[in-house]
């Protein structure tokens, strides 16, 4: 529900990047950022890594789309974007509580302010994966972490690539098929694996349907490109993190619904919304013709 609300808010807010009258830009940006701040606040206390990614990807999209602006508008775009990102970060901090310090340390490590090796994002990801492996469980798809201390860069890259590939296969292919092919081996699940197989097939069919729909109906005039980039990036990052970090199939089976939900929301980019209702200067609601950009 929160992911759907965040994507809907992004769809509204990113429309402000299009060629609209100034008041409508302000209106759309205010509505989009406010709803996103509320959902970020709520998500930060449940799945803080999702809320963190939402804020980071919105910041990246706003920065990337600065090049589409005329040179005289870049400064105001940068200022408004910075205010929006600061607002969203504040909501993440307020909702994250005890989780906040952990993510602040990662950001500081990325920009080079923190010198603590344990704050590096890659180290945090590897630690999270190791935690899943050590927790065991009857549906753990690996028996140990492949990482070896002192291994060369090429060997580590190969090991991490194999781990990511295995997790991706578990995300996308029926687990019974992977067990039959001896790609994964675990004792748990039993009859429930049939349910997860049906779920996997359903998600795969909807993924294919979304891809075909976007391919068939995409045009330069209709899609909300910033929304598409935001949703696709969030979906891709979440899928990659789950595929690499989560080694317990029972956990992955539940968590991957976040990825599926984002896939199902991608067609919002094609929604025809040529009329956006915004308050006029006199206070009455009037339809304003707008391009979906």
Residues 6-27 pLDDT 10s: 999 999 999 888 777 888 889 9
Residues 195 and 246 in one domain: yes
**Residue 290: what pLDDT?**
45
Query: What value, to the nearest 5°, has the Cα angle with vertex 75 and ends 69 and 80?
Result: 90
| Any domain includes 124 | no
- Asked if residue 73 and residue 175 are part of one domain, the reply reads no
Contacts of 98 (CB under 8 A, 6+ apart): none
Position 35 in a domain = yes
Give the integer Cα–Cα distance in Å for 89 and 94. Answer: 9
Same domain assignment for residues 90 and 194: no
- For the chain, what percent of residues have pLDDT higher than 70? 84
Domain count, the chain: 2
Domain-embedded: residue 288 = no
Q: Residue 231: which domain range?
A: 137-272
Instruction: Examine the domain organization and report whether 162 and 35 are in the same domain.
Output: no
Q: Do 221 and 143 fall within a single domain? A: yes
Answer whether 173's CB lies under 8 Å from 200's CB: yes
Query: What's the pLDDT score for residue 243?
Result: 92
Last residue of a domain, one of 52, 85, 119: 119
Average pLDDT for the chain: 82
Kindly state whether residues 114 and 182 are assigned to the same domain.
no
Q: Are 157 and 84 part of one and the same domain? A: no
Residues 262 and 7 sit within 8 Å (Cβ to Cβ): yes
Q: Is residue 125 part of a domain?
A: no
Q: How many CB atoms lie within 10 A of CB 139?
A: 22
Residue 289 counted as domain residue: no
Does residue 208 fall inside a structural domain? yes
Could you tell me how many residues make up the chain?
293
For residue 216, tell me if it sits in a domain. yes
Q: What is the pTM of this model?
A: 0.81
54 and 158 assigned to the same domain: no
Using one digit for the tens of pLDDT, what is the confidence trace for 49-80?
Answer: 999 999 999 999 999 888 777 777 788 888 99
Question: Are 115 and 158 in a shared domain?
Answer: no
**Same-domain check for residues 164 and 219:** yes
91 & 167 share domain: no
What is the average pLDDT across 260-288? Answer: 64
Residue 277 lies inside a defined structural domain of this protein: no
């Amino acid at each position: 529900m929160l992911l759907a609300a965040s994507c809907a808010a992004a769809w509204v807010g990113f429309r402000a990047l299009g060629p609209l009258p100034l008041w409508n830009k302000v209106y759309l940006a205010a509505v989009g950022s406010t709803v996103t701040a509320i959902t970020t606040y709520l998500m930060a206390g449940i799945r803080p890594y999702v809320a963190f990614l939402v804020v980071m990807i919105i910041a990246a999209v706003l920065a990337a789309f600065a090049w589409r602006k005329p040179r005289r508008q870049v400064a105001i775009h940068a200022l408004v974007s910075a205010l929006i990102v600061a607002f969203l970060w504040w909501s993440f901090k307020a909702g994250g509580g005890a989780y906040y310090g952990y993510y602040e340390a990662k950001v500081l490590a990325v920009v080079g302010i923190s010198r603590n090796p344990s704050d590096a994002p890659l180290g945090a990801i590897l630690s999270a994966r190791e935690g899943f492996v050590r927790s065991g469980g009857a549906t753990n798809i690996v028996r140990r972490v492949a990482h070896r201390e002192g291994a060369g860069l090429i060997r580590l890259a190969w090991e991490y690539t194999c781990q990511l590939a295995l997790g991706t296969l578990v995300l996308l292919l029926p687990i019974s098929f992977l067990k039959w092919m001896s790609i994964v081996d675990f004792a748990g699940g039993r009859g429930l694996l049939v349910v997860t197989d049906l779920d996997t097939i359903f998600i795969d069919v909807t993924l294919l349907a979304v891809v075909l729909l976007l391919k068939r109906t995409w045009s330069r005039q209709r899609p909300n490109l910033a929304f598409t980039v935001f949703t696709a990036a969030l979906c891709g990052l979440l899928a990659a993190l789950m595929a690499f970090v989560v080694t317990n199939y029972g956990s992955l089976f539940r968590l991957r619904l976040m990825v599926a939900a984002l896939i199902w929301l991608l067609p919002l980019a094609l929604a025809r919304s040529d009329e956006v209702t915004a308050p006029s200067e006199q206070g009455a609601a009037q339809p304003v013709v707008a391009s979906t950009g």
